[in-house]
Structure 1
Amino acid sequence: MSSETVSLARQAGEPPRITLALQLAIVGWWALAALMIYWPDKPVGFAAPRFVSETHQLFVLLAAALTLAVLAGRFLALSSLLQPLRRAARWLIALALLLAVWEFVTAKLALLPAPFFAPPRALIEAWAT
């Protein structure tokens, strides 16, 4: 039995590994949810924003779903669940970063004019009404 066969047999018995990119994606989505919840919005305009708590719940749910999917893939040895997440990990990181910048620039600091550059929760408000 060659060393290559032994290493393949050892890998077959091990649960799938969580890559660094997946770990960063999980941290990024939880950081985005924390940014949205704990940093207060800068008041802009006359009307109070709607669907703020629903948006917070949605992003916490997305972060929790990603975390649970990765942990289920790892501890239940579901490589069919973990493999697509590994491939999408870089995109998940980029999406979390872009959403964080969008939220930060529009809702938290109000650097961009409000009617033209709305925060992410405005998409949920537009969809719901």
Structure 2
Amino acid sequence: VGVGDEANESAVVRFAAEEARRRGVPLEAVRAWRCPAHETTDHPLLAGEPARLHEKQAAEELEAAVQDVPADVRVRRRTVEGHARRVLVDASHEAGLLVVGAKRREGRFGLQLGHVAHAALHHSACPVAVVPHPARDA
């Protein structure tokens, strides 16, 4: 399951956990992260520090996202530096199912597919499940 930065993606993680339970496989939760170019530094004593902070934040967000996964589902947590689209498409090569979210907004028909869900649907090496979740402003 791809874990984004939306605080309300619990439906996505629940769906992925249930699928992992049904299939008898571990749930691999993946959180991509990036260090903005303007935060890098040329100072040798500080080199890598901004990246470590972003990776730490991604790991904390990932942990929060999977905290309610039932105890009988084994969870593998993985943070990867890079664009979420590339990270998840790469992960799909070793997965049986890739689960991503799509925003559902009040008063609008259908789902709003973002760049990540769109890339997953078009480039994944395995089947993709797109799970709707409420948008932040809904």
TM-score (norm 1): 0.25
Higher relative contact order (CA 8 A, sep 6+): 1
Name the one with the larger helix percent: 1
Who wins on radius of gyration, i.e. which is larger? Answer: 1
